[in-house]
């Protein structure tokens, strides 16, 4: 089963029941306050929670995987949470990522505000699910987009890089495939994601508490945290752009294509490059998805793996022997 189906199913229910959508089919116009939208509360409760994340984690990592009882609070990476409310700082590497759903504002022309809010909530929850499934930390929610971190004190950079690429590929897959097909059937076109990822090394990232009292967060000051959203802005529709430091962590660069202009000029003769990431090729070649007969990626991550045993072919082979007439 596609791990995003539970989110998509709730979004479908909301769209199918939306009275504004139905009235627009008949060119009728009414205010949202004229509709009975009490059913939305029940649909919001159907959006998956930690149970879905735990089920998928156990399928991927094994039945012995401990249950996740709570997710880290926003703006509070657990490895640096001790900095909260202090003036202390610490240098430590991290991968910063930004992903955002573009042109989603057109949803307001088709559906009631309550349905738009549920769709946004569904996308955000599905994205949080993917980030946490892949070992990341959601730092901030921005509308229907996220700022996230991958990495920490108990993981290697190479593994965190793979986790970040996988998580962003899953989110992009969800919007490009699952949501797009259903939205287009309801007259909504050109909704897509753009994402950016970059890695800052120990000497390039300063962790600190920024804010006043409860109005603050444990965050990073780093060129590479700042470059991640700039890379997002250069991404194509449903594209992911990464920095040179991300590419350097992988032994194979076949999934990346360098952009024509550098993303940063150090003004000392050096430049920093960024790359388009072929996430569809990446997930199909790394056992997260398979291709159908038309070359489209079909997500398999989270599905129980079926072991093919040649002995199962014996009954078929015994009655279906090939015949050659020489």
Report whether pLDDT(157) > 80.
yes
pLDDT at res. 182 = 83
pLDDT at res. 190 = 77
275 pLDDT band (50/70/90 cuts)? very high
pLDDT at res. 294 = 72
Cα separation of 213 and 199, whole Å?
Answer: 29
Residue owning tokens 């997710």: 71
pLDDT at res. 313 = 45
pLDDT at res. 312 = 43
Whether residue 96 contacts residue 246, with contact meaning beta carbons closer than 8 Å, is answered with no
Distances (CA, A) of 84 to 75, 90, 91, 139, 237: 10, 12, 15, 14, 37
Report whether pLDDT(280) > 90.
yes
Q: How far is CA 61 from the centre of its chain?
A: 19
Report whether pLDDT(310) > 60.
no
Residue owning tokens 């949202």: 32
pLDDT at res. 30 = 67
pLDDT at res. 298 = 82
pLDDT tens for 1-32 read 578 999 999 999 999 999 887 776 545 566 77
Report whether pLDDT(159) > 90.
yes
Report whether pLDDT(137) > 80.
yes
DSSP string, 28-72: ----GGGS--THHHHHHHHS--HHHHHHHHHHHH-TTPPPP--PP
Report whether pLDDT(323) > 60.
no
pLDDT at res. 307 = 42
Containing H/E element for 8? Answer: helix 5-17
Instruction: Tell me the domain boundaries of the chain.
Output: 5-319
pLDDT tens for 205-232 read 999 999 998 889 999 999 999 999 999 9
Segment 37-44 shows an average pLDDT of 94
pLDDT at res. 306 = 41
Report whether pLDDT(324) > 80.
no
pLDDT at res. 202 = 98
Interhelix angle for 113-133 vs 39-46, to 10°? 10
* SS (HEC) of 222-265: CHHHHHHHHHHHHCCCCEEEEEHHHHHCCCCCCCEEECCCCCEE
Q: Which percentage of the chain shows pLDDT scores above 90?
A: 61
Cα separation of 9 and 17, whole Å?
Answer: 12
Cα separation of 140 and 227, whole Å?
Answer: 16
Q: How is domain 5-319 classified at the CATH fold level? A: Alpha-Beta Plaits (3.30.70)
pLDDT at res. 188 = 80
108 pLDDT band (50/70/90 cuts)? confident
pLDDT at res. 53 = 86
Q: Average pLDDT over the chain, rounded to whole? A: 87
Cα separation of 154 and 171, whole Å?
Answer: 25
Whether residue 190 contacts residue 103, with contact meaning beta carbons closer than 8 Å, is answered with yes
């Amino acid at each position: 089963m596609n791990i995003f189906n539970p989110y998509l199913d709730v979004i479908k229910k909301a769209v199918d029941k939306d009275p504004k959508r139905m009235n627009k089919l008949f060119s009728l116009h009414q205010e949202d306050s004229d509709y009975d939208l009490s059913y939305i509360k029940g649909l919001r409760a159907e959006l998956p929670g930690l149970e879905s994340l735990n089920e998928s984690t156990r399928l991927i990592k094994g039945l012995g995987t401990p249950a996740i009882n709570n997710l880290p609070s926003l703006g509070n990476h657990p490895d640096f949470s001790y900095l909260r409310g202090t003036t202390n700082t610490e240098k430590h590497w991290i991968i910063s990522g930004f992903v955002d759903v573009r042109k989603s504002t057109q949803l307001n022309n088709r559906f009631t505000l309550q349905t738009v809010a549920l769709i946004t909530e569904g996308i955000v929850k599905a994205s949080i699910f993917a980030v946490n499934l892949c070992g990341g930390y959601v730092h901030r929610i921005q509308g229907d987009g996220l700022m996230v971190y991958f990495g920490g004190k108990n993981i290697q950079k190479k593994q965190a890089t793979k986790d970040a690429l996988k998580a962003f590929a899953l989110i992009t897959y969800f919007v490009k495939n699952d949501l797009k097909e259903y939205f287009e059937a309801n007259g909504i076109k050109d909704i897509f994601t753009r994402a950016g990822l970059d890695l800052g090394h120990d000497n390039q990232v300063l962790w600190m508490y920024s804010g006043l009292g409860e109005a603050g967060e444990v965050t990073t000051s780093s060129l590479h945290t700042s470059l991640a959203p700039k890379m997002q802005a250069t991404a194509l529709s449903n594209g992911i752009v990464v920095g040179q430091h991300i590419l350097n962590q992988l032994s194979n660069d076949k999934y990346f294509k360098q952009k024509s202009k550098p993303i940063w000029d150090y003004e000392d003769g050096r430049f920093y490059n960024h790359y388009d990431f072929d996430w569809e090729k990446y997930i199909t070649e790394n056992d997260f998805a398979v291709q159908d007969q038309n070359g489209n990626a079909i997500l398999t991550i989270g599905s129980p793996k079926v072991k093919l045993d040649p002995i199962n072919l014996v009954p078929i082979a015994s009655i279906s022997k090939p015949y050659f007439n020489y």
